Amino acid sequence: MTPVNATHDPARHSWVESANRPDTDFPIQNLPFGAFERNGEPRAGVAIGAHVVDLRALRDSGLLAAGSDAAIACEAAGDGTLNRLMAMPPRYPGALRAALSDLLKSDSPQRASVQQHVQALLPRIDEVALRLPCEVGDYTDFLTSLHHTERHGRYKGLADPLPAAFKSLPIAYHGRASSLRVSGGEVRRPHGQYRDANGQVVFGPAPALDFELEVAAWIGEGNALTQPIAIDAAHAHIFGYSLLNDWSAKSIQWFEQVLGPFLGKSFHSSVSPWIVTAEALAPFRKAPVPRAKDDPPPMPHLHGALDQQQGSLHLDLYAHLSTNGLREAGAQPVRITHTHLDNLYWTFAQMVAHHTSNGCNLRTGDLLGSGTISGAADEARACITELTDAGRHPLRLPNGETRTALEDGDEIVLSARATKPGAVSIGFGECRGRIAPALVDRQAEIAA
C-alpha cells in the first residue's frame, strides 16, 4: 500500500489533467471528501481537479482489492454520507485516500482499467449538486481571534475590550445545526426584532447583515460522555476542515443577545462542500504563534507538546465580495480580506480538549467553527463590521459603491490555500453565498 507520504509527493501528477493546473484547489495531493447528488441519489465522493470520484461507482467497479482497508472504507460511504467513514479509525479513510492517489496518478499501472469506468467514476463537479458532506449532530462556534474580540470590545466601548476568560479558555457557544447549508445559492435576509435609528424595537427585515470568515473542524471519532479528550489526542479526532461563513444579522444579535447569539445567526450558515483531511494538510502543519510574554500559559489540560509543535497550519484565507453593481459592470469580485490561520489564539486541539474537559461528548460529524479569523493588519479583518471600523469608514468598491453592511444581491466567496515551499499547494474549494431579499410582507403574513 502507498505510504501516506507518497500521497504528498510533489512529483506525483494525475492523468486527470485538470488536477495538474497550478490554480486548482484539488491536485492529487489533496483528495478531499464530500457528498453530492447524482440521478437523485445521495453519493459520497472525493474531489480531483474539476472532477469528483463517485465512491459508490468506485465500490461497484471492482478496482479496490476486496477486503482491503480501502474497500472497507469505500463501502462505509455507500449510503451517500460520510458519517460512517469518518467514524472509522483513521487508517481506513487513509487507505482509501492512498488507493485513490494510486489509481489517479499519471503512471498508475491501473490507469487503463480506471479509464474504462471513467463515465461512472468521474463526473465533473459542476455537473452534480453538492451536498453538506455529512450529517451534523452538534455545531459549536468558538471565539478565538484576539483581534476580532478586541475590536468588537472597543466598538462596544468596553474599558477592557477582552473578556476575562479569553486567555484562559477558548470561548464558545452552541450554534444551530439545522440551518447549516452547503456553499452556494441564496442566503435569505432574515426578519427579526431590532432597535431602529430611534431606539424603538421593531420587527422587520434585518439590517446590518455581515459575513464572518471561519475555518471549521469536522469531528471523526467521537468520545463517550464523561470521557474528556486529552490535548495531544485531540488532532486524531479531527477528520478534516472546511470553510465556514457564519452569516450574522448584527441588528438582531445586538438586541437579542443575553445568553449568546441565537436568531442573529441561526437563519443560515454556509459550509464549503469539501472536507480537506487532516492527513492532506499534514505537510502544512506548523507551530502556533507563541503567546505574548505577559500572557498566562495555557492550563495543563490545554497544553500539549505535540500541539505546540504543530497545532497551526500554513493556511491563507480570503474573502471576495461581488455586488449587483460590480457584476453589471463586468467587474471581478473584490478581495476584501486576506488573513491567516495563525491569527487564532487557540488551536483546534485546544478547542477539542476544552470542549470535552467537562465530559461533553463529541460525535462523528460535529462541526467546530474557529470564530472569525481576524488578524492585526487592516487587510486581515474578516468581517464587514471590522473592515468598516463598525460603520465609521465604509468599504469603498472600485465602481464607487460603498458598504457598511451586506446589501441584497451581495455575494461573498471565501477561499483558502495551504502553501509551503517544497509542497504542492492545496485549496479548500469555495464557500459562496448571495444575499436574497427578505420575503415580502412577512410580518403581515405571519400575523394573518
C-alpha 324: how far from its chain's center?
A: 26
156 burial via Cβ count (<10 Å: 0-12, 13-18, 19+): exposed
Residue 266 as a binder of a copy of itself (CB under 8 A): the answer is yes
Of 85-93, 114-122, 135-143, 419-427, the window that binds a copy of itself (rule: CB under 8 A) is 135-143
How many residues make contact with a copy of itself (CB under 8 A)? 68
Q: How far is the CB of 84 from a copy of itself (least distance, A)?
A: 16
Q: How far is the CB of 381 from a copy of itself (least distance, A)?
A: 20
For the four alpha carbons of 338, 429, 181 and 176, in that order, the dihedral sign comes to negative
The catalytically annotated residue of 8, 13, 147, 148 is: 148
Binds a copy of itself (CB under 8 A): choice among 151, 191, 250, 381: 191
Q: How far is the CB of 296 from a copy of itself (least distance, A)?
A: 8
Tell whether residue 265 is among the known ligand binding residues: yes
CA pair distance 218, 365, nearest whole angstrom: 6
Binds a copy of itself (CB under 8 A): choice among 9, 79, 150, 256: 256
Strands 41-48 and 33-38: antiparallel
Nearer to a copy of itself, 75 or 232 (CB): 232
Of 68-76, 284-292, 362-370, 381-389, the window that binds a copy of itself (rule: CB under 8 A) is 362-370
433 closest CA partner among 394, 395, 399, 406: 406
Tell whether residue 246 is among the known ligand binding residues: yes
Nearer to a copy of itself, 259 or 292 (CB): 259
Q: How far is the CB of 427 from a copy of itself (least distance, A)?
A: 28
Tell whether residue 212 is among the known ligand binding residues: yes
CA pair distance 209, 263, nearest whole angstrom: 12
Q: How far is the CB of 269 from a copy of itself (least distance, A)?
A: 11
Residue 147 as a binder of a copy of itself (CB under 8 A): the answer is no
Binds a copy of itself (CB under 8 A): choice among 108, 193, 308, 324: 193
176 burial via Cβ count (<10 Å: 0-12, 13-18, 19+): middle
Q: Which amino acid is at 274?
A: W
Q: Which amino acid is at 45?
A: G
Q: Write the CB contacts of 183 (distance below 8 Å, at least 6 apart in sequence).
A: 130, 243, 270, 271, 272, 273, 429, 430, 431, 432, 433
Assess whether 148 carries a catalytic annotation.
yes
Q: How many CB atoms lie within 10 A of CB 108?
A: 16
CA pair distance 288, 418, nearest whole angstrom: 15
Residue 155 as a binder of a copy of itself (CB under 8 A): the answer is no
> 76-95: which residues touch a copy of itself (CB under 8 A)?
none
Q: Residue written as cell 431579499?
A: 437
Binds a copy of itself (CB under 8 A): choice among 1, 120, 169, 306: 169
Nearer to a copy of itself, 75 or 262 (CB): 262
Return the half-sphere exposure (C-beta side, CA atoms, 13 A cut-off) of residue 438: 19
Residue 363 as a binder of a copy of itself (CB under 8 A): the answer is yes
Assign residue 194 a region (left: φ > 0; alpha: ψ between -120 and 50; beta: otherwise).
Answer: beta
Q: Which amino acid is at 403?
A: R
Radius of gyration of the chain (CA): 22
Binds a copy of itself (CB under 8 A): choice among 10, 62, 89, 359: 359
CA pair distance 208, 210, nearest whole angstrom: 6
Contact 95, 1 (CB under 8 A): yes
Binds a copy of itself (CB under 8 A): choice among 11, 159, 197, 201: 201
Residue 271 as a binder of a copy of itself (CB under 8 A): the answer is no
Binds a copy of itself (CB under 8 A): choice among 263, 315, 341, 397: 263
Strand runs labelled E in 86-138:
129-131
Residue 129 as a binder of a copy of itself (CB under 8 A): the answer is no
Q: How far is the CB of 156 from a copy of itself (least distance, A)?
A: 12
Of 59-67, 115-123, 322-330, 358-366, the window that binds a copy of itself (rule: CB under 8 A) is 358-366
Contact 141, 271 (CB under 8 A): no
Q: How far is the CB of 371 from a copy of itself (least distance, A)?
A: 9
300 closest CA partner among 355, 235, 231: 231
Residue 377 as a binder of a copy of itself (CB under 8 A): the answer is no
Binding residues for Mg(2+): 246, 265, 269
- Residues near a copy of itself (CB under 8 A): 137-138, 143, 163-166, 168-169, 171-179, 181, 188, 190-193, 201, 203, 206, 225-226, 228, 230-231, 249, 252, 255-256, 258-264, 266-268, 299-301, 303, 353-355, 357-363, 366, 439, 442-443, 445-448
Q: Per the annotation, where are the binding residues?
A: 141, 212, 214, 246, 253, 265, 269, 372
Residues annotated catalytic, as ranges: 148
Q: Which residues are annotated as a binding site for Ca(2+)?
A: 141, 212, 214, 246
